């Protein structure tokens, strides 16, 4: 007689529960069944930058060229994937992923994808919280420049005190730009405040094999002096464009030519010449009121202080008895209607030419008619 063994109902339920739990655990950690990632594919120097209310950026490097992506979501189960920048190609050593269309003021979980594997932050997923939604935009402020000596794709990081970290991919021609006026403060509840002239900007250029550091003040970052890859540089002593032009006192400024700016109807005279010019008498004005002062003479021995001419004066220069002002060495010509003398009239010239042509024609044709 064959015995039949039956599994107790309670033990079967326990095995079933343990199997389901083990299956869920293994699905959430599915990389266990995948080939183990090589050290060359492991992400290094993972950075979170450009955090806004609806976006943020994740970047890293790998020793081996691999495909880069980020798996993210509002829970640690993730669920959405974003690929690296198209300009980097399908595989690269430098990886740059922009995650967009997010919800403001929400914590997001993400893992870094390299090749066919997902990498977290020491067993748990990376986390980042988006900023609060802001309405009014500050006055634009964009720093920009150029990196020379590029042989591969590089990432440029910008750090300013009190400002969330910023970054950008450097173009193939070496140019780059980073808007800093819209960067958030450390608490992400507002735009960062900084000195637009004196704040120090720390710049790091991340290549596959090396880091290049540069330092400049915000006032001298439009543009930032050219950064040479592989050479650390300090530009903080460079003055902003326009501040190195010395201001000259008014006495040293070159003024425009007087004659070129003289209004029509006025003569070009210096103050000394103006005092010497014979004034024109207005109709109905007495000569005494407008005559220029008489030429200076040596004091007369006559006890009379009166400046009027006296017949007893010694043979010193006598003032003219005429009430009109004495002419000076500079003669003022009467102004024309336009204020300047007419340089010539074209009408008489044209008339003379026409008359000349008529006389020539008469001289040519008149003798022929007489002969006929």
- Name the helix (H) or strand (E) containing 49: strand 44-49
Tens of pLDDT, residues 65-96 = 999 999 999 999 998 999 999 999 889 999 99
DSSP three-state, residue 357: helix
Query: How far does Cα 58 stand from its chain's mean position?
Result: 29
Whether pTM exceeds 0.75 = no
DSSP three-state, residue 276: helix
Q: Report in angstroms the alpha-carbon separations of 105 from 55, 138, 190, 333.
A: 11, 20, 12, 84
Gap between the Cα atoms of 242 and 263, Å rounded = 35
Tens of pLDDT, residues 152-163 = 899 999 999 999
Give the chain's domains with CATH numbers. Answer: 38-129 (2.60.40.380), 142-234 (2.60.40)
Tens of pLDDT, residues 311-359 = 444 445 454 444 444 444 444 444 444 444 444 556 666 777 888 888 7
């Amino acid at each position: 007689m064959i015995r039949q063994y039956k599994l107790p109902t309670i033990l079967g339920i326990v095995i079933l529960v343990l199997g389901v739990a083990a299956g869920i655990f293994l699905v959430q950690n599915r990389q266990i069944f995948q080939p183990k990632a090589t050290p060359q594919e492991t992400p290094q120097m993972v950075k979170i930058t450009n955090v806004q209310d609806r976006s943020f950026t994740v970047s890293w490097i790998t020793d081996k060229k691999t495909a880069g992506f980020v798996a993210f979501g509002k829970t640690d189960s993730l669920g959405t994937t974003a690929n690296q920048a198209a300009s980097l190609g399908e595989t690269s050593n430098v990886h740059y992923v922009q995650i967009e269309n997010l919800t403001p003021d929400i914590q997001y979980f993400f893992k870094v994808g390299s090749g066919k594997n997902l990498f977290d932050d020491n067993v748990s997923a990376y986390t980042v919280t988006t900023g609060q939604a802001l309405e009014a935009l500050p006055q634009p402020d964009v720093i920009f420049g150029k990196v020379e000596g590029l042989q591969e794709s590089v990432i440029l990081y910008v750090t300013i005190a009190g400002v969330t970290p910023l970054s950008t991919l450097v173009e193939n021609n070496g140019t780059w730009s980073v808007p800093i006026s819209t960067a958030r403060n450390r608490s992400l509840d507002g735009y960062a405040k900084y000195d637009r002239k004196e704040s120090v900007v720390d710049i790091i250029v991340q290549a596959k094999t090396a880091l290049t550091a540069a330092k400049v003040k915000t006032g001298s970052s439009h543009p930032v002096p050219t950064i040479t890859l592989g050479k650390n540089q300090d530009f903080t002593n460079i003055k902003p464009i326009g501040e190195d032009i010395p201001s000259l006192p008014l006495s040293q400024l070159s003024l425009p030519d007087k004659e070129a700016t003289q209004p029509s109807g006025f003569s070009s005279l210096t103050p000394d010449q103006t005092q010497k010019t014979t004034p024109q008498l207005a109709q109905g004005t007495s000569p005494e009121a407008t005559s220029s002062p008489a030429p200076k003479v040596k004091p007369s021995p006559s006890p009379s202080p009166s400046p009027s001419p006296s017949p007893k004066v010694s043979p010193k220069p006598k003032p003219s008895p005429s009430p009109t002002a004495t002419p000076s060495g500079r003669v003022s010509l009467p102004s024309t209607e336009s204020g300047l003398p007419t340089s010539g009239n074209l009408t008489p010239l044209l008339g003379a030419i026409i008359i000349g042509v008529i006389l020539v024609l008469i001289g040519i044709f008149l003798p022929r008619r007489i002969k006929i």
